[in-house]
Structure 1
Amino acid sequence: MEWILNFLWSYLCASLGLWLLRKLTRGRFPEKNAWLSDVPEGVGCLAILLVFALLIGVLLLWVTTRAST
Structure 2
Amino acid sequence: MRAPKTAVWSPGRGVLCLAADRAILAVVQRWTAEHGEGPSVRQIADTVGTKNTASVACHLENLENLEGERGALVR
Higher strand share: 2
State which structure, 1 or 2, has the greater radius of gyration over its C-alpha atoms.
1
Q: Does 1 or 2 have the higher relative contact order (CA < 8 Å, sep 6+)?
A: 1
Higher helix share: 1
